[in-house]
């Protein structure tokens, strides 16, 4: 499925968060959204997945979601958003319970999602017993279980420590290696963007505008190769150039400015 | 060696200020109080007319139990508090949830609750007797009213405290609204609701005794009042002990319910 963001602006009261955003998410591709803090990345992601009504403009999806997709637009949250009173399997089940599925298929989906995220042995554990990395794995399993057409990730790794982040990023890349995924990946981490994305959209500071959309030409699976290191470093530097000035100004802005 | 090189151990300054649990301490405290009380009575420090000894209280309880009056009084009180608390709680949960979820219910409800909550509900008993007769109904209604308002307030604040991020998550997975209420809001509000239960159960106990003192043939409250009028302090204190036991039992049951429903915390 493709997604088209058309002339989207958003205001929170007097505060303008987004200004005339035009953007396309291409089916089978991962689009990274980067920009200085407070520039409206989360707002844009919310609008794209239908969780927030934009003040102006609209978002259009083209194509039909796959037949087995229960929830075409699915989020993975920065704070995991797990129900603390449900077990790991119960949290995954939450996304399936209100769909007409026979018991066998429901169990199969849960099982497959837990296996994919390495949570099989933790099915009965409660969220409070899990580390941050494992909690986010539950968030990923829950999203995988509904077979989304488009996945929205809002800084999925930023609540984790550096090592866990690296491990989980590798797992995500492995999952996306296996099955072509359409996703929008919000991050403030340029490294993550460069490793994950097919295209990187750079937002300006608030009110967020699209500053540039940069393709990453090197195939995702080859980005670890040494021969591409220089190209990726150059891309990283280019992105940093784009963002640096904005970030410095954004950092000095008053929150209610 | 250490002295020669000027080495000294770093003095330990942490620890303390961490009250823990001592299993025997509660029993010891009770035993000490009762022993002190018995001692004061036996030595004549406490005249029997003013305060009976623990032994006499136990005797009085024994007589009450033997004559069958105990079951009658405690039974009457238990049924009133059970009905009154349940009705008030169910209604309060319903209204509290409505106020936690819908703007209209909240905007209309908050001022009404604010106006009615401060009225000591026992003041309504005479009116309720006029409306409902002199039977059980006005006593149950008084307790229910007293329980209703704190339950409403506790419930809608508990609903407010359910993280919005969880509700947005549920919406993002297209959960229908009833499922969101049942699977996300209700369990998320449970800690606050159970905290309200602790408050409403003690309010119910107070109103029970007050209502029974105003007019009832049976019940712990009327029993205490009658004993007071006859200056039977042993019976009176026996009644008070019954209330303490009733309160402890309620709080024990609530503790169990909390441990069971909130085992995820
Ligand atoms: N519900 C809201 N009400 C009012 N203002 C809001 C609300 N949500 C966000 N904002 C403001 O809108 C701007 C954009 O917020 P948003 O969360 O989309 O930015 P972001 O790029 O995701 O930031 P971050 O990097 O901190 O995650 C910020 O200035 C923020 O303070
Ligand atoms: Mg954000």
Query: By alpha-carbon position, which residue is closest to atom 30 of ligand 1?
Result: A38
Query: Based on the domain organization, do A134 and A191 belong to the same domain?
Result: no
Q: Report pLDDT for A37.
A: 86
Mean pLDDT of chain A: 92
What's the complex ipTM? 0.93
Q: Report pLDDT for B220.
A: 95
Q: Three-class SS of residue A202?
A: strand
Query: Based on the domain organization, do A139 and A190 belong to the same domain?
Result: no
Q: Is residue A158 part of a domain?
A: no
Residues of A in contact with B175 (CB under 8 A): 94, 98
> Is the CB of B187 less than 8 angstroms away from the CB of A71?
no
- pLDDT tens track for B32-74: 999 999 999 999 998 988 899 999 999 999 999 999 999 999 9
Domain boundary pick from A99, A130, A148: A148
- pLDDT tens track for A193-227: 999 999 999 999 888 999 999 999 999 888 888 89
> Is the CB of B264 less than 8 angstroms away from the CB of A79?
no
Q: Is residue A170 part of a domain?
A: no
C-alpha distance from A126 to closest chain B C-alpha (Å): 7
pLDDT band at A150 (very low <50, low <70, confident <90, very high): very high
Q: Is residue A54 part of a domain?
A: yes
Distance A30 CA to ligand 1 centre (A): 23
C-alpha distance from A81 to closest chain B C-alpha (Å): 5
Distance A69 CA to ligand 2 centre (A): 27
Residues of B in contact with A73 (CB under 8 A): 172
In chain A, the percentage of residues whose pLDDT exceeds 70 is 99
- pLDDT tens track for A223-257: 888 899 999 999 999 999 988 877 777 777 776 55
**pLDDT at A169 > cutoff 60:** yes
Q: Identify the CATH number of the domain in which residue A200 sits.
A: 3.40.50.300
Tell me which of A12, A152, A156 to substitute to probe ligand 1's pocket, judged by most ligand atoms within 8 Å of the beta carbon.
Answer: A12
The finding on whether A10 has its CB within 6 A of some atom of ligand 1 is no
CATH of B53-261, one of 3.30.420.40, 1.10.3720.10, 3.40.50.2300, 3.10.105.10: 1.10.3720.10
Of B204, B209, B256, B250, nearest to B85 by C-alpha is B204
Q: Is residue A47 part of a domain?
A: yes
Alpha carbon dihedral B60, B63, B69, B73, in 10-degree steps, equals 30
pLDDT band at A140 (very low <50, low <70, confident <90, very high): very high
Range of the domain at A242: 1-65+183-257
Beta-bridge partners for A18: A10, A208
> Is the CB of B179 less than 8 angstroms away from the CB of A98?
yes
Say which ligand is closest to the CA of A43: 1
Q: What residues does the ion ligand 2 have nearby, CB within 5 Å?
A: A 42
Q: Is residue A229 part of a domain?
A: yes
Contacts of A167 by beta carbon, 8 Å cutoff, 6+ apart: A133
**How far are the Cα atoms of A232, B111, B187 from residue B161, in angstroms, in the given order?**
45, 20, 11
Beta-bridge partners for A25: A3
Q: DSSP secondary-structure letter at A156?
A: T
Dist CA B176 CA A98 (whole Å): 8
- Considering only the beta carbons, identify the residue of B184, B188, B264 that sits closest to A126: B264
Number of domains in chain A: 2
Strands, sheet with A2-12, edge to edge from the N-terminal-most edge strand: A15-25, A2-12, A56-62
Q: Report pLDDT for A225.
A: 87
C-alpha distance from B49 to closest chain A C-alpha (Å): 56
Query: Based on the domain organization, do A248 and A189 belong to the same domain?
Result: yes
Q: Is residue A103 part of a domain?
A: yes
Q: Is residue A176 part of a domain?
A: no
Of B124, B63, B134, nearest to B88 by C-alpha is B124
Are A187 and A158 in contact by the 8 Å Cβ rule? The answer is yes
Q: DSSP secondary-structure letter at A198?
A: S
Contacts of A234 by beta carbon, 8 Å cutoff, 6+ apart: none
List chain B residues with pLDDT less than 70: 1-4
Query: By alpha-carbon position, which residue is closest to atom 12 of ligand 1?
Result: A17
Q: Is residue A167 part of a domain?
A: no
H or E, element range at B90 = helix B69-101
Query: Based on the domain organization, do A142 and A198 belong to the same domain?
Result: no
């Amino acid at each position: 499925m493709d997604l088209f963001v058309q002339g989207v602006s958003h205001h929170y009261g007097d505060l303008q968060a987004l200004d005339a955003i035009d953007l396309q998410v291409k089916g089978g591709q991962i689009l990274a959204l980067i920009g200085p803090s407070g520039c409206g990345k989360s707002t844009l992601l919310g609008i794209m997945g239908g969780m927030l009504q934009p003040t102006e403009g609209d978002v259009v999806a083209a194509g039909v979601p796959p037949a087995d997709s229960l929830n075409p637009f699915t989020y993975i949250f920065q704070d995991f958003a797990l129900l603390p009173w449900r077990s790991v399997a119960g949290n995954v089940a939450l996304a399936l319970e209100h769909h007409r599925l026979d018991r066998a298929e429901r169990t199969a989906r849960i099982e497959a999602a837990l296996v994919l995220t390495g949570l099989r042995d933790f099915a009965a554990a409660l969220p409070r017993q899990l580390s941050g990395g494992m909690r986010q794995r539950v968030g990923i399993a829950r999203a995988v279980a509904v077979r989304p057409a488009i996945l929205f990730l809002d800084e999925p790794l930023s609540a984790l420590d550096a090592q866990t982040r690296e491990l989980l990023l590798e797992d995500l890349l492995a999952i996306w290696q296996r099955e072509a995924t359409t996703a929008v990946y919000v991050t403030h981490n340029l490294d993550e963007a460069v490793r994950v994305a097919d295209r990187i959209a750079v937002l300006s500071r608030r009110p967020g505008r699209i500053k540039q959309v940069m393709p990453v030409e090197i195939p995702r699976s080859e980005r670890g190769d040494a021969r591409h290191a220089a190209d990726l470093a150059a891309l990283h530097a280019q992105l940093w150039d784009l963002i640096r000035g904005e970030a410095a100004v954004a950092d000095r802005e008053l929150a209610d400015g | 060696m250490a002295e020669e090189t000027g080495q000294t151990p770093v003095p330990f300054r942490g620890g303390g200020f961490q009250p823990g649990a001592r299993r025997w301490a509660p029993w010891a405290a009770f035993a000490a109080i009762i022993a002190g009380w018995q001692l004061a009575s036996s030595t004549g420090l406490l005249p029997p007319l003013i305060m009976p000894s623990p032994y006499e209280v136990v005797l009085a309880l024994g007589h009450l139990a033997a004559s069958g009056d105990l079951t009658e009084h405690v039974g009457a009180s238990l049924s009133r508090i059970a009905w009154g608390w349940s009705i008030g709680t169910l209604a309060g949960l319903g209204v509290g949830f409505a106020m936690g979820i819908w703007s209209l219910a909240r905007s209309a409800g908050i001022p009404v609750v604010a106006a009615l909550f401060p009225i000591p509900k026992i003041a309504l008993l005479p009116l309720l007797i006029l409306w409902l007769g002199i039977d059980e109904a006005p006593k149950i209604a008084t307790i229910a009213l007293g329980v209703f308002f704190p339950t409403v307030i506790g419930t809608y604040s508990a609903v407010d405290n359910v993280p919005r991020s969880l509700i947005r998550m549920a919406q993002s997975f297209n959960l229908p609204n009833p499922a969101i209420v049942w699977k996300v809001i209700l369990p998320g509000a449970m800690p606050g609701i159970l905290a309200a239960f602790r408050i409403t159960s003690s309010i119910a106990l107070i109103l029970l005794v007050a209502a029974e003192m105003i007019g009832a043939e049976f019940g712990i409250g009327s029993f205490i009042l009658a004993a007071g009028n006859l200056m039977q302090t042993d019976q009176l204190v026996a009644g008070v002990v019954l209330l303490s036991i009733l309160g402890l039992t309620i709080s024990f049951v609530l503790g169990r319910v909390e441990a069971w429903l909130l085992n995820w915390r």
